[in-house]
Amino acid sequence: MKVTFDCVFYYVSDMERSIRFYQDILGFRLISRDVVARFDVDGVLIELVPAPDESALRGAGNARLCLRADDVEQALKALRAKGARTGQEQRKSAGVLGTVDDPDGNEICLWQYL
């Protein structure tokens, strides 16, 4: 059996709102759209998928999208200025961690290596 990477996806409750968030706030490039919206992030396919029901949203899984940032503090400030919900930066032994929530509360991590 051979398996290869396909994508990372999040269930969303409102496709239009979520596309605006990932496009306008995070700056991801929308590459296709049918029932699913697809974004290319440095060669990684990120998909937004309509949630089959409420149980598929928030807290149903433990996957996280993690993005590398040169400066987490500045990235969080820029995201807040665009209206995004963010957490506070957290200093870790190997770097700095920040978080931002998409419109459905899916957590996206920002990581700055030290």
**pLDDT of residue 17 exceeding 90:** yes
Q: Give pLDDT tens digits for 57-111.
A: 765 555 678 898 999 999 999 999 999 999 999 998 889 999 999 998 888 989 9
Helix residue spans in the chain (DSSP H): 15-20, 72-81
In the chain, where are the structural domains located? 8-54+64-113
Superfamily of chain region 8-54+64-113: 2,3-Dihydroxybiphenyl 1,2-Dioxygenase, domain 1 (3.10.180.10)
Strand partners, 49: 11
Which residues lie closer than 8 Å to 22 by C-beta, 6 or more apart? Answer: 28, 30, 37, 39, 46, 48, 102
Nearest to 21 by CA among 91, 110, 104: 104
**pLDDT of residue 29 exceeding 70:** yes
- Cα–Cα dist 23/98, whole Å: 19
